[in-house]
């Protein structure tokens, strides 16, 4: 009986050791998200800061990562404006740690003074952003296919604003690192999803 008990104990120890050393399934990598997904994450936090906030700007962050699926990015920034407080505030949302300054989760910057009169972009209600970036990309690509074919591997970025280029808020689909050095971009109406104009 003593030998049987010793054997059982030894067998259980071996079994436990084997199960603990068994390879674990790798967690699937977080997938890049669309602009409206990121905006929704940040809008609730912004409303907790100031209940009258409106959207001022939403933009993807190009962090030198691999090519992302059309209309998606691993990190986004959204800036909200409060007319009552005369302040704006930027929130950064990322699906993973990307750099020392862009970490997984959502992080707000300190509020800044805001005056609508001193801005090119104007605040707008979140309900005006009905169309997401994946749809905007599809529409924009119809007008950018020739440019993209001549610039393979060029990154795509996204900017949501209401400015004097179009009467409604638009998604600007940008081929290039950012809006300031883009060789080609397309505006898509964020409310209707229709093509607005080409910027080059």
Q: Report pLDDT digits (tens) over 153-175.
A: 889 999 999 999 999 999 999 99
- 8 A C-beta contact, residue 89 and residue 80: yes
What mean pLDDT comes out for the span 93-116?
85
Burial class (CB in 10 A: 0-12, 13-18, 19+), 161: buried
Top-confidence range, 29-38, 42-51, 65-74, 96-105: 42-51
d(CA 51, CA 84): 9
Mean residue pLDDT across the chain: 86
What is the model's pLDDT at position 88?
97
Q: What is the pLDDT of residue 15?
A: 45
CB 160 within 8 A of CB 190: yes
Q: CA-CA distance, 107 to 194, in Å (whole number)?
A: 32
Residue 89 has pLDDT above 80, yes or no: yes
pLDDT tens-digit map of 46-78:
999 999 999 999 999 976 555 789 999 999 999
- Above pLDDT 70, what percent of the chain? 84
CA separation for the pair 111, 161 (Å, rounded): 19
Q: Is the pLDDT of residue 197 over 50?
A: yes
Buried b (16+ CB within 10 A) or exposed e, 103-112: eeebebeebe
Q: Average of pLDDT values for 139-149? A: 96
Residue 150 has pLDDT above 60, yes or no: yes
Dihedral angle computed from the Cα positions of residues 137, 54, 57 and 39, in that order, rounded to the nearest 10 degrees: -50
pLDDT level of residue 23 (50, 70, 90 thresholds): low
Residue 120 has pLDDT above 80, yes or no: yes
**Is 56:16 a contact under the CB 8 Å cutoff?**
no
- What residues form DSSP beta bridges with 112? 88
Cβ burial of 10 (10 Å; 0-12, 13-18, 19+) is exposed
DSSP calls for 91-133? EEEESS--SSSS-SEEEEPPPEE--GGG-SS--B-GGG--S-H
User: How far does the chain reach from its first CA to its final CA, in angstroms?
Assistant: 87
Domain ranges (residues) in the chain: 33-199
Mean pLDDT of 126-141: 98
Residue 24 has pLDDT above 80, yes or no: no
Mean per-residue pLDDT, 27-51: 91
């Amino acid at each position: 009986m003593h030998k049987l008990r010793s054997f059982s104990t030894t067998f259980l120890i071996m079994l436990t050791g084997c199960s603990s050393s068994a390879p674990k399934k790798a967690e699937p990598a977080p997938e890049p998200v669309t602009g409206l997904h990121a905006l929704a994450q940040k809008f609730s936090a912004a409303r907790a800061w100031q209940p009258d906030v409106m959207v001022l700007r939403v933009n993807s962050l190009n962090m030198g990562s691999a090519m992302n699926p059309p209309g998606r990015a691993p990190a986004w920034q959204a800036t909200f404006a409060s007319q009552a407080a005369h302040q704006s505030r930027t929130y950064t949302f990322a699906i993973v740690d990307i750099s020392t300054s862009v970490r997984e989760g959502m992080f707000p910057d300190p509020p800044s003074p805001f005056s609508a009169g001193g801005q090119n972009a104007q605040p707008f209600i979140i309900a005006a952003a009905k169309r997401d970036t994946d749809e905007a990309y599809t529409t924009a690509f119809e007008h950018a296919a020739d440019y993209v074919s001549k610039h393979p591997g060029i990154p795509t970025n996204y900017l949501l604003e209401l400015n004097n280029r179009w009467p409604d808020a638009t998604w600007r689909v940008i081929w290039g690192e950012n809006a300031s050095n883009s060789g080609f971009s397309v505006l898509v109406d964020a409310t209707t999803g229709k093509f607005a104009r080409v910027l080059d």
